[in-house]
């Protein structure tokens, strides 16, 4: 089983994809999107090196995706109070967390399926 180090986690998920990431800031918790990516790597469904080469493509997350919502956001500690993206009235152009973005990109490229997500959603 392959696990990601803290610096890989930041380097592959948070720094390249997450608008909320601040260099040097310690987060007690990680968003569920990043945790799902970490579990996919641990299960060998994704190689860490495959994560950091994707251009962001905002039309993919213009509105919430039902599959990602059920497999990721429903299990996220930030959902109720801290996540604008999943709020009832999201501000224009707001972005989801980096993990959600990365999962969206990988699914659009056929590197992940909704079955992969379901497998790791409730671990
Ligand atoms: S988009 Fe929001 S609710 Fe969904 S995983 Fe990311 S932080 Fe959590």
pLDDT, tens only, 38-91? 999 998 888 888 888 899 999 999 989 999 999 999 999 999 888 999 999 999
Check residue 70 and give its pLDDT.
93
Atom of ligand 1 nearest to the CA of 79: 3
In this predicted structure, the answer to whether residue 123 has a pLDDT above a threshold of 60 is no
Q: How far apart are CA 100 and CA 61, in angstroms?
A: 9
> How close is the Cα of 58 to the center of ligand 1, in Å?
15
What is the CA 54 to chain-centroid distance, rounded? 13
Q: Which residue in 47, 46, 37, 43 sits closest to 10, CA to CA?
A: 37
Enter the pTM of the model. 0.90
Residue 33 is predicted with a pLDDT of 92
The whole-number pLDDT of residue 122 equals: 65
Query: Which pLDDT score is estimated for 67?
Result: 93
- Structure confidence by residue, pLDDT tens digits, 11-43: 888 999 998 888 887 776 788 999 999 999 998
- Round to whole Å and give the CA distance between 42 and 62: 29
Instruction: Provide, rounded to the nearest whole percent, the portion of the chain with pLDDT above 70.
Output: 96
* CA 7, 94, 75, 109 torsion-angle sign: negative
Domain ranges of the chain: 6-21+30-46+57-121
Residue 9 neighbours by CB distance under 10 Å: 20
- Which atom of ligand 1 lies at the shortest distance from residue 36's CA? 5
Distance 1 CA to ligand 1 centre (A): 26
Segment 105-116, tens digit of pLDDT = 999 999 999 999
């Amino acid at each position: 089983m392959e696990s990601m180090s803290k610096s890989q986690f930041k380097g592959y998920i948070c720094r390249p994809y997450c608008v909320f990431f601040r260099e040097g800031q310690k987060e007690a918790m990680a968003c569920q999107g990043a945790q799902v990516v970490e579990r996919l790597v641990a299960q060998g469904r994704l190689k860490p090196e495959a994560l950091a080469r994707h251009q962001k493509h905002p039309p993919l997350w213009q509105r919430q995706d039902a599959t990602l919502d059920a497999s990721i956001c429903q299990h996220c500690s930030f959902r109720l109070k801290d996540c604008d993206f999943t709020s009832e009235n999201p501000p224009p152009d707001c972005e989801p967390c980096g993990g959600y973005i990365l999962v969206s990109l990988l699914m659009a490229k056929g590197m992940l399926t909704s079955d992969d997500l379901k497998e790791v959603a409730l671990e």
